[in-house]
Amino acid sequence: MTKISLVLPIYNVEEYLEEGLNSLVNQSFDDYEIICVDDCSTDSSLEILKDFANKNDKIKVIELPENKGQGYARNIGLTSATGEYIYFFDPDDILEPNALKILYEAAKKNNAEVLQFNYYSFLDGTNKFKKVDVAKIIQKATKYNLKKEKSYCWQNIRAGCLENFSLLVWNKFFKHSFLKENNIVFSELRFLEDHAFLHKMIFAAKQIHYIDKCLYKYRIRKNSIINSVTDKKLLVFNYIGILKQHLIQLGIYNELYEIYLSYCFKWLNVAYNSIPQSAYSIYQENLVLILSPEELTKYQKYKSNQQSFLQKMFSIKNLYINAQKHKLITIFNKEFLIRRGNDKS
């Protein structure tokens, strides 16, 4: 059995793919496979993958017949994985050279189902790295001292169990058998697919062990799904319903109701602020279906509290639609979307 399987969903990342793959093939650890699932890329990503695979027998390339999304691609990679441990890597990022060695040794030492670690973030096109300390985030949100305790379960960080434990798949390392036994897979929705996987994980794990080291460099791209305007973010309504049913099945929905509501409000607001104007009516229709009248009142108050007085009167936000810069201008609650060149859309 291979010790580690790395799973990469690939879609139109030609600009970053070579750097990302080089960070994997040059690891100090040796016993691992790299499963790259190409989701019908329309650029040269597949050619780059094949070139790397011809030079390195650790790399396995799977070509999907049609574009199915990141969640589906990761699930295909997971199904093909043979490793004792699973690591999900995003191909536009960078893994530190000793990362796999550190992760494998820590997982074996602690008999860990899940490991979690710190990372650096950086804006695309820059070399300024900001350290993101997971333990500090958790302690600020929940008062739990992860640096001292070294591990946690969801009950330890109850207030942050849906959000503040960090909804990132690439700063975690998983025991393969743990994922299989608990049927932990990605949602095939095109938004918040990581959340479905990670929410299942946190409620199934006995302990999540913490490594106080930065092992990953996360590239912040302007045209990523989180930072872009797209009607795909209407899928937030689908996932909110899925999460509610999961909490009900676990028998903890009532216990976590206020925390669930806080999570919903945050991501409903993220979606509202980054869908095209043409989708606003659909958003409002879904909102009244998924929230009770009382919850709807609370949500409107939440939205209002997210803005300062001046923001409510006037604001300008830079948005990226299909990698093109736009400005969203809000004047007394009326919104105007302007493309570069002063065209209106």
User: Could you write out the DSSP letters of every residue in 102-123?
Assistant: HHHHHHHHHT-SEEEEEEEEEE
Q: What percent of the chain has pLDDT over 90?
A: 81
Q: DSSP letter string over 241-272?
A: HHHHHHHHHHT-TTTTHHHHHHHHHHHHHHHH
- Mean pLDDT, to the nearest integer, of 160-177? 96
Q: Where are the alpha helices (DSSP H) in the chain?
A: 14-25, 45-55, 70-80, 99-110, 134-142, 146-149, 176-181, 193-204, 236-250, 257-272, 280-290, 293-305, 309-313
Nearest to 295 by CA among 267, 262, 271, 273: 262
pLDDT value at residue 315:
63
Please name the amino acid found at residue 280: Y
Give the SS3 label for residue 285: helix
Distance in angstroms (rounded) separating the CA atoms of residues 193 and 200: 12
Q: What is the tally of helices (H) and strands (E) in the chain?
A: 13, 13
Most confident range, picked from 146-155, 219-228, 335-344: 146-155
User: Which pair of tokens denotes residue 215?
Assistant: 């092992």
What number of other Cβ atoms are within 10 A of residue 230's Cβ? 17
Q: pLDDT band at residue 345, thresholds of 50, 70 and 90?
A: very low
CA 46 to chain CA mean position, Å: 23
Query: Cα–Cα distance between 32 and 24 in angstroms, integer?
Result: 10
Q: Which CATH class is domain 4-220?
A: alpha beta
Q: How many CB atoms lie within 10 A of CB 34?
A: 24
273 or 56, greater pLDDT = 56
Q: Is the pLDDT of residue 4 over 60?
A: yes
Nearest CA to 6 among 29, 269, 274?
A: 29
Which amino acid is residue 308, in one-letter code? S
Per 3-state DSSP, what percentage of the chain is helix, strand, and coil (rounded to 5)? 45, 25, 35
Prediction pTM value: 0.87
Domain boundaries along the sequence of the chain: 4-220, 229-305, 307-345
Using an 8 Å Cβ cutoff, are 36 and 8 in contact? yes
pLDDT band at 218 (very low <50, low <70, confident <90, very high): very high
The model's confidence at residue 230, banded by pLDDT at 50, 70 and 90, is confident
Give me the residue label for tokens 């070399």: 127
